[in-house]
Structure formats: structure tokens, C-alpha cells
Amino acid sequence: MPKKPSPSCSECGQLNCYRRDKKFPSFCLTEASDPKELEKVVQRYRSNSGDGRIARAAAEVEGTYYGKLTRVEEIVAFANRIGARRIGIATCIGLIEETRAFIKVLKAKDLEPYAVLCKVGSVDKTEIGIPEELKVQKGSYEAICNPIFQARLLNEQKTDLNVIVGLCVGHDSLFMKYSDAPVTTLITKDRVLGHNPAAALYTCNFYYKRLLDPEQKL
């Protein structure tokens, strides 16, 4: 018999770690944590390290502007609080107009944007072993998304904060792995749902019930 996976926070009906106004469940991840390990992490947030400054700046933006600012504005507020001036943008080609609009905003707020497109380097997909039939437009020159090179070029520019604008699932993973500067996301690409991936979850009990179909292999 395969071992039943242990329950985690998604099975918790209490969420008591937030305000401590209920009870911790028997399997609680907070209660099961090693206090020394937890303290090491808290110490990092408290410190003057980059991690500490980021943690406190993020909480300050949340607490000051909760429900008042758009994410575009929150990124500006966050950048200001961590002292970031050079803002790298790793953009998808399909969202270049949105990137251009974002750049106008950043400049208006006295920040220094620098964008690198996903197709930079212009390497054809077949050169990394992707078969012709997997191209979006078969038979044409079609460049790979090149997130490692995007990160390298932004690293050379010594950006202070990098912002993802619509990188593909997985390409974003590589970009985050290779970026020297901390990374945040402005747009999470969903080609079907107008870049609102949460809509699939809001509607998965009816319109998108295929999401819950174990027969649908992806």
C-alpha cells in the first residue's frame, strides 16, 4: 500500500498561524517546526542583509497600501523601499506593448528600466533539439525563449530588481534561477485567460471542470 501523504496547510480548516484566534490542528506545520530552525529564518528577516530589507519592504508595502495600489504601483513602491533604481524587465515578445507601457510608468517615477526580450540571441528552436513540428509556425525560423541569456544580460547591466512580464511556465523558472537581482512578477502569462490564471481555478467546478478530470493527461 503506498503511504498516504501527510496532511499539509491546504487541509487545514483553522489557518490559526495567521491570527492565533482559533486552534492549531494536530498536524500543524507551525507546531511541528523546529523552533531553532524557525528562529534562524526570523533572524534573517530581522537582519540588515538583503533578505531582511526585502522582507520588511514587502511587508511595509502590504501594510501601507493594502487594497489601494495596483501591482504596477506596488512594484514601484517596493523598488523605492529596497533602494532599487535600475529595474530589469524580462519580457515576453507577446507582451512587449505592456512592457513599453510599464517602462513609461517606471520612467515617470524616476526609475531606470532596461528590458530584454525572451527571444534575445535569436537561436532557432531546432538548434536545441526541438523538432520542427513543435514550432508554433512550422517551417519558419522560430527563436527559442532564452531566459538564461535574458538573466545574463540583465546581470551585466547590474540591475537592482528584475521584473518578469509574461515569461512562459518553465522559462520563468530558468530566469529566476539565473538572475542575480531579486525577481518579482508583474504579469503571469495565461494565453487563454488574458493573463489571469486564477480564472481557471474560480471556474473549475463547471466551465473548466476538465481540470479535475484524471483522464485528461497533459
Distance between CA atoms of 3 and 11, rounded to whole angstroms?
17
39 SS3 class: helix
Q: Which is nearer to ligand SF4, 24 or 208 (CB)?
A: 24
Identify the residue among 1, 24, 86, 199 touching ligand SF4 (CB under 6 A).
Answer: 24
**Nine-digit cell at 49?**
542583509
Minimum distance between the CB of residue 27 and ligand SF4, rounded to whole angstroms?
A: 6
Identify the residue among 2, 3, 26, 28 touching ligand SF4 (CB under 6 A).
Answer: 28
Minimum distance between the CB of residue 8 and ligand SF4, rounded to whole angstroms?
A: 7
Minimum distance between the CB of residue 18 and ligand SF4, rounded to whole angstroms?
A: 7
Identify the residue among 4, 5, 26, 30 touching ligand SF4 (CB under 6 A).
Answer: 30
Closest CA to 180 of 203, 206, 200, 153: 153
Distance between CA atoms of 172 and 110, rounded to whole angstroms?
27
Identify the residue among 2, 5, 20, 29 touching ligand SF4 (CB under 6 A).
Answer: 29
